Structure 1
């Protein structure tokens, strides 16, 4: 049982250390040292009692080094918790208090050093200590010592609750653990037999304290990880997503177009780029207002997204009423077919938004598309492809708009 408790305390110490490295708050290092101290003493107790029957361990408990190790472990735990609380109060007062990432090593060495020194002293003098305690306090000295330790933990509980007001989740956890520890100490000093109910419950409490700490910190680390992932997602959306149309923006295009073009060049697969512009969009804004123009942009963007043939293709809003669609592994024939289908879909979807009388008079929302396609065997440059598609788009507008034009400059630009 002691070995299980020791391992759980060691796990709690590691988790608190992880929290310390995550946010640099010293009180996490001190709380981790509290559990480390408890772990070392409990594991030592387990090793000392590993060859003894449980009845012998209980009967000789207060005359053996195990009792002193237990008292030292609980005292060290209380001391480090008190120091951790003090560090938290100092951090709350001094917001610019440096993190000091070496603190976890320093406090850990203090815990290990205290354990080593105490174990060495107890190993050589525990018999004399027991005799001296009996001489001064009589046979009730274990009860007095345990009671004093329980009172110290109770006072520490009041101190933690009063000073922190439990405004930090970690100290709410510390308060719960202190209550469990007080119950454990009370049950240990009241147990008369290893088969008594008090002893059984004391063993459960011995495991419950570090288990509660470990589970709580694991849940908190999981929550922090999920929160960080959501924050990163939100930041990525702010950086790479157009707030009006909810599709990717020019920054996303600049980042991913280079990667996609590099992949196409390495795989020697064709790559097509569609440059899309809404025809007479300024007139739409002037006639129907900017809110209507924004709605048209949203409808066009949604229609383009719905018309993407494959998951590897992506659309972006370059700015204003201009969009781009990158189609990996797509030749110019397929790109032209995709473009014509998009033009028809946009005309139907966006024209539905116009007032009935303007539709009856022949007005419609249309797009012009310039297409540039790269084929393996020539140099690939995405910026030149964009320029190529832009020239094709202007040609589409010169021809009367609402049409798709394949670039005539592909060979000249791609091989330049």
Structure 2
């Protein structure tokens, strides 16, 4: 192992055999944490070429179970987001694609750090069951068209160990390591067409366009070497997506979107990512045609019906979907009032995430419990006109202290200017 570390430390390429030695050593305990940490730091500082990134991805995939979804058809599309603030696209997209006849077999995570988790959001619906056996999972996709379940420990166990160490050794921000971690999970989950929503900006892991592009290129190159299309859509996370941040409150907004009453940015992004998925699945020829088809599914109610079917199949109380106000019942509500007139020049996504976290909607450690009903509704976003005394946002809190703490963060997130700013472009670039 020392030779493998030294080789990477000198900036040389590790072979498949060497990388396999590491992943096997992680599983059987022959590679201790201190050596694995040293190798991860060497990768972080010296990088990996695309072939190495692919070899690491394959090695991590082979470290655990690989799901067989072939009984669902030839094309299994998976959409994944690199994580943002207010990012509830999976909830809307799963129902939209299923309504359009594309099977959605989605493994999702819980929230950690400042990004919310899809499973946490769904578990704000009373009774929702996120843990299904493989057979239950596949049968539900066959019967309903969609299932969203929590990731199992059997997939990519080597990645789990690497991630835990990266978290405490300042090696999170390595593009080859991020790429291998993201793509290996998708390959192990049985998908063969992968659409990745790569977030970029203050509320994302990739703060700059350059970083987002570098990550996207690495992930698409891994896909090419594996013979599986990986399409990366770089999208802005300069401000939160949609108008809500939290758990239940984001389900509330997803329901509104599926009823064709959602905010424009969330609606546009879901239609775009969905249309790309339809093109890759051979359902439509062009993105415009795909968007039109999915728009119809929102208008005719079939997407919302599909969402209800999925929630019901996973033991969720459909009453929460019929009366979504149940998702946001808190003890306290606060308004953030604007102290000046003008335009919203900035709405910093990371600071909004901190406000949401102050309400107890996120977790610091995996075992932390979270508040499902607390959250934030943003009335004003970048470019919106605002008058002095008007409400910028509403805070739903279950304690006075958490509500006041969130209000302080939210106040810092907003910047009001006399000049109308340029509204950030939502969909920045597609790399495939």
The TM-score by the shorter chain falls in which range?
Answer: under 0.3
Rg larger in structure: 1
Q: TM-score, normalised by structure 1?
A: 0.19
* Richer in helix (by share): 1
Structure number with higher strand proportion: 2
Higher relative contact order, structure no. (Cα contacts within 8 Å, ≥ 6 residues apart): 2
TM-score by length of 2: 0.18
